[in-house]
């Protein structure tokens, strides 16, 4: 499974050859540096470890500096592994957006935007009950009953309630690669990608 680390730039649209407007997300993907090659004999599985993004040396531990030194790489902010990355690349080599092709499908994984503590209407899509007339006070967006008093005399696990929303790892599958701009390390995928502008994303082939 090939993949690359990138950063979400934002959303835009462009017109294809038929004059149709294509909505897409712009991702600055790579270049990523190969930091380590794991094999079945030494590590128990085959994987390729790559890094992306600049990081200050003063914020990097001595152990990680030694790890980066093995591949002659500067300190990197993001490090990820991709299993069964069939390639002849060696330590210190770079991976670019050229591993993808226009028209193919990819999976994009990132951390969604954090929304903080939210009620059941926003968090779970509850419709609310009742009307604001006839003396009703503040129960329009309330969750309602969460369990019986005599039976079962408890609240079931997993009951949808208010709570912290967002800030979770989300993978969007089968996004089509609309366009690749190799000279600027940009890849445009149809549809939306989780996370805010500037957030790190992982694109899997």
- pLDDT value at 132 more than 70: no
**Average of per-residue pLDDT across 80-95:** 85
List the domain boundaries for the chain. 3-58+65-120+169-204, 121-166
- pLDDT value at 131 more than 70: no
pTM of the model: 0.82
pLDDT band at 130 (very low <50, low <70, confident <90, very high): low
Distance CA 33, CA 93 (A): 6
**Average of per-residue pLDDT across 78-86:** 87
CATH architecture, range 3-58+65-120+169-204: Beta Barrel (2.40)
What are the backbone dihedrals phi and psi of residue 196, each rounded to the nearest 5 degrees, phi first? -90, 175
- pLDDT for position 2: 86
- pLDDT for position 163: 96
Distances (CA, A) of 160 to 69, 125, 167, 170, 199: 49, 10, 18, 20, 29
Question: Shortest CA distance to 14 belongs to which of 26, 25, 23?
Answer: 23
């Amino acid at each position: 499974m090939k993949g690359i680390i990138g950063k979400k730039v934002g959303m835009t649209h462009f017109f294809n050859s038929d004059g149709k407007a294509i909505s897409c997300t712009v991702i600055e993907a790579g270049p990523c540096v190969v930091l380590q090659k794991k094999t079945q004999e030494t590590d128990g599985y085959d994987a390729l470890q790559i890094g992306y993004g600049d990081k200050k040396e003063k914020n990097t531990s001595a152990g990680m500096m030694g790890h980066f030194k093995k591949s002659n790489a500067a300190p990197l902010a993001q490090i990820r592994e991709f299993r069964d990355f069939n390639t002849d690349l060696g330590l210190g080599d770079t991976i670019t957006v050229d591993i993808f092709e226009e028209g193919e499908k990819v999976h994009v994984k990132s951390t969604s935007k954090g929304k903080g503590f939210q009620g059941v209407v926003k968090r779970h899509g509850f419709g609310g009950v009742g009307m604001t007339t006839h003396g009703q006070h503040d129960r329009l967006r309330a969750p309602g009953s969460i369990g019986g008093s005599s039976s079962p005399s408890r609240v079931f696990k997993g009951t949808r309630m208010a709570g912290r929303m967002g800030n979770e790892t989300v993978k969007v599958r089968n996004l089509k690669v609309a366009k690749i701009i190799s000279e600027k390390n940009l890849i445009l995928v149809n549809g939306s990608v989780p996370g805010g502008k500037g957030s790190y994303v992982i694109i899997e082939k």
